[in-house]
Amino acid sequence: MEKVYYKVGRHHYCVNFSDEKNTSALLPSSEPFRVGDVPNDEPLLFELIVDDTWRPAKKGKEIGQFDCGGNNHGVYHLEDGSYQILVSDVSGRQCCLIQATADFSSGKVCLNGDESMRNFGLNNALMMMYAFAGADKMTVLMHASVVRRNGMGYLCLGVSGTGKSTHTHNWLQYVPDTDLMNDDNPVVRVCEDGVARVFGSPWSGKTPCYRNVEAPIGAFLQLKQAPYNRIERMKIVDGYASLLPSCSVMKWDRRDYVGTSDTVAKLLELVPVYFLENLPDEEAVKMSYEAMTGKPYGVWGNL
């Protein structure tokens, strides 16, 4: 058995590989987050067992589909409150079955298919375990592309196709000393010191950006494509309506939904949210940069 610990968003979790067929080599994007033994006083966010010989004793009742980056995974509920999730890859092939406790603090998976399918299935299992276990711990996975400058993180939000990655990549092109922290699923957390921070994660969509980095959050930016550029700060209620749908959440699970909603509400107390109607050009970068940083565009120096 191979027992591996990871630390993402300041949370530790453990993956137990219980057979020779599956090893940590299935998780190359997680390697930057791999750590040694966890201190005794440090609780695990969750523990996941990978065992191809495992089969569930019962099949749960289907309660919904979870959209995970455009792939719908079937979600099933058992009488004891535990969950089963059947993961399908981009081609619709079933590649992973998860069974987790009601709070997602522990779970088991069996994998299916070739190495690519197993990699996809296990990565998605870990992503969902992390999101759902962290829901009541002021921690969310957010569908966003995030850049960092001067030690502050700026998250671009929006449904697929609205230009999140285009806008952050334009920041990389036009704003000196900017780096990409994550391009699809960063961790957002209100930490114990009351600071809202964003963290890189092993999950970054189509862009291989798996960086073990963190930064206080400077602002959120909701994007919408338009034939012009215009930006405004959003009211709290509008910011809530923008941030909550960007989080990985099971709306039918009270613990998960209430925890995520509370986290979003706290984030809105700490961080401003802006709405940018934009073209994919430098002028849009100028507008968002000046609004979110409060500093003049083009006057770089030590700003």
Nearest to 189 by CA among 8, 9, 6, 30: 9
Tell me: pLDDT of 78 over 90: yes
Q: Could you tell me if 151 and 279 lie in one domain?
A: yes
Which phi and psi angles does 302 have, rounded to 5°?
Answer: -100, 10
Euclidean distance between CA atoms 180 and 226, whole angstroms: 24
Give the domain-ending residue among 72, 104, 133: 133
Euclidean distance between CA atoms 230 and 97, whole angstroms: 45
Q: Could you tell me if 127 and 199 lie in one domain?
A: no
Q: Name, in order, each residue with C-beta under 8 angstroms of 192's C-beta and a sequence gap of 6 or more.
A: none
Q: Could you tell me if 128 and 143 lie in one domain?
A: no
**Domain-embedded: residue 301:** no
Which residues sit opposite 5 in a β-bridge?
A: 14, 35
Tell me: pLDDT of 303 over 60: no
**Domain-embedded: residue 299:** no
Tell me: pLDDT of 300 over 90: no
Cβ atoms of 293 and 182 closer than 8 Å? no
Euclidean distance between CA atoms 41 and 180, whole angstroms: 33
Assign residue 255 the CATH number of its domain: 3.40.50
Report, as an integer, the average pLDDT of 35-55.
91
Give the pLDDT of residue 68: 66
pLDDT band at 41 (very low <50, low <70, confident <90, very high): confident
**Domain-embedded: residue 206:** yes
Q: What is the pLDDT of residues 228-278, one digit of tens each?
A: 999 999 999 999 999 999 999 988 899 999 999 999 999 999 999 999 999
Q: Could you tell me if 180 and 129 lie in one domain?
A: no
- Structural domain including 225 reads 139-293
Q: Percent of the chain having pLDDT more than 90? A: 83
Number of domains in the chain: 2
Q: Could you tell me if 55 and 156 lie in one domain?
A: no
Give the pLDDT of residue 225: 93
Token pair listed for 113: 């298919």
**Domain-embedded: residue 283:** yes
Task: Give percent helix, percent strand, percent coil of the chain, each to the nearest 5.
Answer: 25, 35, 40
pLDDT band at 302 (very low <50, low <70, confident <90, very high): low
Euclidean distance between CA atoms 213 and 57, whole angstroms: 41
Give the domain-ending residue among 83, 116, 133: 133
pLDDT band at 144 (very low <50, low <70, confident <90, very high): very high
Q: Could you tell me if 108 and 149 lie in one domain?
A: no
Report, as an integer, the average pLDDT of 208-225.
97
Give the pLDDT of residue 62: 86
Higher model confidence: residue 91 or residue 243? 243
Tell me: pLDDT of 285 over 90: yes
Cβ atoms of 148 and 227 closer than 8 Å? no
Q: Percent of the chain having pLDDT more than 70? A: 98
Give the domain-ending residue among 76, 101, 133: 133
Pairing of strands 2-8, 187-190: unpaired
Q: Could you tell me if 56 and 176 lie in one domain?
A: no
Q: Could you tell me if 16 and 153 lie in one domain?
A: no
Tell me: pLDDT of 287 over 80: yes
Q: What is the pLDDT of residues 21-31, one digit of tens each?
A: 899 999 999 99
Report, as an integer, the average pLDDT of 158-178.
91
Token pair listed for 97: 């079955």
Tell me: pLDDT of 16 over 80: yes
Q: Could you tell me if 103 and 191 lie in one domain?
A: no
Euclidean distance between CA atoms 288 and 278, whole angstroms: 10
**Domain-embedded: residue 298:** no
Tell me: pLDDT of 71 over 80: no
Q: What is the pLDDT of residues 109-123, one digit of tens each?
A: 999 999 999 999 999
Q: Could you tell me if 143 and 288 lie in one domain?
A: yes
Q: Could you tell me if 263 and 183 lie in one domain?
A: yes
Cβ atoms of 274 and 236 closer than 8 Å? no
**Domain-embedded: residue 29:** yes
Q: Could you tell me if 226 and 256 lie in one domain?
A: yes
Tell me: pLDDT of 149 over 90: yes
Beta strand segments in the chain, E: 2-8, 11-17, 34-35, 44-50, 61-68, 71-77, 83-88, 94-100, 106-111, 139-141, 144-149, 152-157, 178-182, 187-190, 196-199, 214-225, 230-233, 273-278
Q: Chain-wide mean pLDDT for the chain?
A: 93
Pairing of strands 44-50, 11-17: parallel
Nearest to 24 by CA among 48, 53, 4: 4
